[in-house]
Amino acid sequence: MPKITYIEHDGTKHTVEGELGSTVMETALRNNVASIVAECGGSCTCATCLVHVDEKWFSVVGPPSAEEEEQLDAAFEVKPTSRLSCQIKVTEALDGLVVHTPAYQGR
Amino acid sequence: MSETIKTDVLIIGAGPVGLFAVFELGLLDIKAHLVDILDKVGGQCAELYPEKPIYDIPGIPFITGHGLTDALMQQIKPFHPTFHLGEMVTTLEKIGEPLFRLRTDAGKTFEVKCVVIAAGGGSFQPKRPPIQGIEPYEEKSVFYAVRKMDAFRGKRLLIVGGGDSALDWTLNLQPIAKRLTLVHRRDEFRGAPDSVNKMRALVAAGGMDLKIGQVTALEGGDGKLTACSIKGSDGAASRIEVDAMLPFFGLTMKLGPVADWGLRMEDELIPADTAAFETNSPGLFAIGDINTYPGKLKLILSGFHEAALMAQKAHRYVYPEKKLVFQYTTSSTSLQKKLGVA
C-alpha cells in the first residue's frame, strides 16, 4: 500500500499506509493526524483539510479542480501547492507522498 | 426588550434532527419553537452539503441535503413550528421542575417546559483569519458581520474574501465608505457573476481598489486598526491605511454557549441516557450529533430515533396528568387528524 507522510507545522512526522481508493484526508483521520479537521466529512465544502503538497510531489498530485479552487478561498495561508486533502485520491503513483499540514484550519 | 415567549418545547438547532423532533413532538400534541444561528433551516445539510447526495436515510436510496431539508419541512408543516433564524441561544437557566428560561442574542426570552438541544456540531460561526494579534481588534475594528451599515460610513474599509458575502458587502458599503479596498487571494471570484461584474466596474472607474493577495499583519492599538500589510500573490508587499477590516472566509462549527449551561460535557459532547436522550438535567434533552452515549453513531437516522424517544419522555413533563397511549400513524385516526390526512 502507498506510504504517505504528513509533516505537521511543528515538525511532527506521521508516515502511514494509505488505502488505495481512499483519500489523503481519510488516511489522515484514520491515523490521528490532528491538524486535519475535515468538518464536512469530505464533501469539498468546508476547507478544513488543507495540506501543502511537498514541492517535489505537486506535479504528481496535480492541481485542484475548479470546485476545489473555489473552496480554497475559504482556507488560510493558501500556497501554490495547497490542496484539500479530501480531494486527493490515494493511488500507487502517490507511494512516498509528502504533505505539510497547517497550524490552523479555521477552527 | 420583548415579551416572553411561552411554549411547550424549545428546540435548539434546526438541522434534520431538530426538524424531525417537531414531527415526533407534534404527534403528541407538544408545540415547539426552533432557534438556529443560520439564516436558513437544514443545519449542516443546508450549509455544508446542500447538493451532495446522502445514501443512508432509511427507505430513501438517494437524497441531497437540500432535498432532505425540504422533505422534512413538508413533513412537519401540519404542526406549524415557529422558527427563530439567525439567532443564537446564549443563556439557559432552570426555573422550575422542569421549566426553563432561555435568552437569544437577538433579545428574545423563552419559557418552556422542556429544551431539546439538537445543535449538531455546535453553532456555525465565522472563520477567524490566523493573523497575529487580531483578537483585540475583533468587534472593535475587525468585524465578521455587518450589523449596522451606518457604522462604516466615512471609514476606510478593507474587505477580505472572494465569495458572495465579501462581494455583497463590497457593493453595499462602497457608496458610504471613504475608501474601500477588496483583498482576495486570486483574481477570480466565486460570487455571483453579476456582483463580480459590478465590483470590477467600480475598480475600473476608480471607485474602489482591488488587491490580489493576503493580509499578513495589522497595525493599530487599543482595538483601533490603523493599517494592514498585504502580501501580493506576486510576492510584493504593500501597506494600506484602514479604519476597519471585514474578513469573509465562510463558517466553521464551534460548540458555543452550550458549554456554559452547567451541563455535564464529555469532549464537547453532551452525555444522554439511551431511554429518552435526556441529560443530567430532567427536561433537558440532547439529540443528534451533539450527544454521546455508549455505541453512539453520528448518523441522521440515529438522530431521528433519538427524537422519537425524547418526545415520549417530554410528553410526561408537558402533560403530567395524561397517560400516553402508543399509536401508529398508519392506523390511528387521531394521529392522522393531526397530520391533516384523516
Shortest Cα distance from B230 to chain A (angstroms)? Answer: 12
| Spatial distance between the Cα atoms of B50 and B1, rounded to a whole number of angstroms | 36
User: Do A76 and B184 lie within an 8 Å CB cutoff?
Assistant: no
Tally of domains in chain A: 1
Kindly provide the residue ranges of all beta strands, DSSP E only, lying in B185-318, ordered along the sequence.
209-221, 224-232, 237-241, 244-247, 251-254, 270-271, 284-286, 291-292
- Give me the residue from A40, A69, A76 closest to B129, CB to CB: A76
Contact A23, A86 (CB under 8 A): yes
Contacts of B252 in chain A (CB under 8 A): 39, 46, 48, 106-107
Shortest Cα distance from B93 to chain A (angstroms)? Answer: 28
| Per-residue model confidence as pLDDT tens digits over B271-282 | 999 999 999 999
| Per-residue model confidence as pLDDT tens digits over B186-228 | 999 998 999 999 999 999 999 999 999 999 999 999 999 999 9
Residue A36 falls within a domain, yes or no? yes
Query: If we measure between CA atoms, which residue out of A88, A86, A87, A91 comes closest to residue A21?
Result: A91
At residue B68, the pLDDT reads: 98
Contacts of B120 in chain A (CB under 8 A): none
At residue B48, the pLDDT reads: 87
- Give me the residue from A73, A75, A104 closest to B190, CB to CB: A73
- Interface residue A29 vs chain B (CB under 8 A): no
Judged against a pLDDT cut of 60, whether residue B138 lies above it is answered with yes
At residue B49, the pLDDT reads: 85
Pairing of β A97-100 and β B5-12: unpaired
- Interface residue B123 vs chain A (CB under 8 A): no
Residues B101 and B168 in one domain: no
Residues B111 and B147 in one domain: no
| Spatial distance between the Cα atoms of B137 and B143, rounded to a whole number of angstroms | 8
Q: Which whole number is the average pLDDT over A38-45? A: 90
* CATH number of the domain residue A56 falls in: 3.10.20.30
Residues B82 and B17 in one domain: yes
Residue A17 falls within a domain, yes or no? yes
Q: Which three cell numbers stand for residue A60?
A: 504528481
State the number of CA atoms in the 13 A half-sphere of B108 facing the CB.
19
- Interface residue A86 vs chain B (CB under 8 A): no
Q: Which domain holds residue A35?
A: 3-100
* CATH number of the domain residue B110 falls in: 3.50.50.60
Number of helices (H), then strands (E), belonging to chain B: the values are 7, 19
Residues B115 and B257 in one domain: yes
Please identify, among B227, B249, B271, the residue that sits at the C-terminal boundary of a domain: B249
At residue B1, the pLDDT reads: 56
Residues B237 and B168 in one domain: yes
The band of A105, judged by pLDDT with boundaries at 50, 70 and 90, is very high
Tally of domains in chain B: 2
Residues B320 and B269 in one domain: yes
Shortest Cα distance from B342 to chain A (angstroms)? Answer: 41
Percent of chain B residues past pLDDT 70, beyond the cut: 100
Residue A105 falls within a domain, yes or no? no
User: Do B49 and A39 lie within an 8 Å CB cutoff?
Assistant: no
At residue A54, the pLDDT reads: 97
Contacts of A78 in chain B (CB under 8 A): 185, 214
Neighbours of B34 (CB within 10 A): 24
Please identify, among B229, B249, B269, the residue that sits at the C-terminal boundary of a domain: B249
- Give me the residue from B161, B185, B252 closest to A78, CB to CB: B185
The band of B243, judged by pLDDT with boundaries at 50, 70 and 90, is very high
Please identify, among B193, B218, B249, the residue that sits at the C-terminal boundary of a domain: B249
Residues B236 and B279 in one domain: no
- Give me the residue from B48, B184, B214 closest to A43, CB to CB: B48
Residues B231 and B132 in one domain: yes
Residues B10 and B120 in one domain: yes
Q: Which whole number is the average pLDDT over B139-165? A: 95
- Give me the residue from B48, B49, B190 closest to A70, CB to CB: B190
Residues B283 and B198 in one domain: no
Q: Which domain holds residue B317?
A: 5-124+252-338
User: Do A78 and B252 lie within an 8 Å CB cutoff?
Assistant: no
Q: Which whole number is the average pLDDT over B63-80? A: 97
Cβ-based contacts under 8 A for chains A and B: 54
Residue A106 falls within a domain, yes or no? no
